[in-house]
Amino acid sequence: MAFIELDNVSKVFGQAEYATVALKQVTIRMDKGEFVSIMGPSGSGKSTLLNIMGCMDIPSEGEYRLNGTLIQKLNDRELSQIRNKTVSFVFQNFALMHNFSVYENVALPLFKRKMSLKEKKEKVDYYLHKLGIADLSDKNVSKLSGGQKQRVAIARAMTAEAELILADEPTGALDQKNGAQLMELLCQMNEEGKSIVVITHDEKIAGYTKRIINIVDGVITEDRKKER
């Protein structure tokens, strides 16, 4: 059984003459531990596809199963539980809480976990050290550089310990050096067993992944595996 299964998935926004088709009968199988990039021009349906994979949206037609669970059958509470336990997002703008410290941002995924304060602190401290930002723990994230914010976002994703990491143009706001560092961190997470999907328009970024899916006007035009 595949970890991610999309079967003839279509997504339509609006109705009748105002309808916009974002995805057209998309079928994808992805096993646990894969590292996949989704490429395509603006408006091709990449972000819509990622939102469905991350249970932020559901298909208009077709079926989506995540780790064997048919997503369309879940209610809002169950969808929220799936997102909190299984999926972690990394966004281009980092989506950090700018009135929070670095520590507080990295600890956010643990807010509703049944853990002692000591256990939470140990886990957060572990990932702060792993990402080399332990010395920034008490600093407000609004005072950080782009590269530092990127590491905070990755540390937060790691702290969630989700099986699936979804990254939407994660290097878009970074210079070449910090972008390369981010992708190396994602490579490391993949080597540790995480399943990762990256949206990008950059061939160099896609080159870090092991499988490239191209999408144009909501249709998969290419799906090929490669050696890194």
CATH of the domain at 93: 3.40.50.300
Report the alpha-carbon distance of residue 63 to residue 70 in Å, rounded: 7
Which DSSP category does 57 fall into?
S
Phi/psi at 127 (5° precision): -75, -30
Cβ neighbors of 76 (< 8 A, separation 6 or more) are none
The greatest distance separating any two alpha carbons of the chain, rounded to the nearest whole angstrom, comes to 56
* Nearest CA-CA partner of 24 in 226, 222, 215: 215
| Range of the structural domain that residue 89 is part of | 4-225
Quote the tokens at residue 45: 């349906």
Q: Per residue of the chain (228 residues), what is the pLDDT tens digit?
A: 899 999 999 999 998 888 999 999 999 999 999 999 999 998 899 999 999 999 999 999 999 999 999 999 999 999 988 988 899 998 877 789 989 999 999 999 888 788 888 999 999 999 999 888 999 999 999 999 888 888 898 889 888 888 999 999 888 877 888 888 889 989 999 999 999 999 998 999 999 999 999 999 999 999 999 765
**What is the pTM for the complete model shown?**
0.88
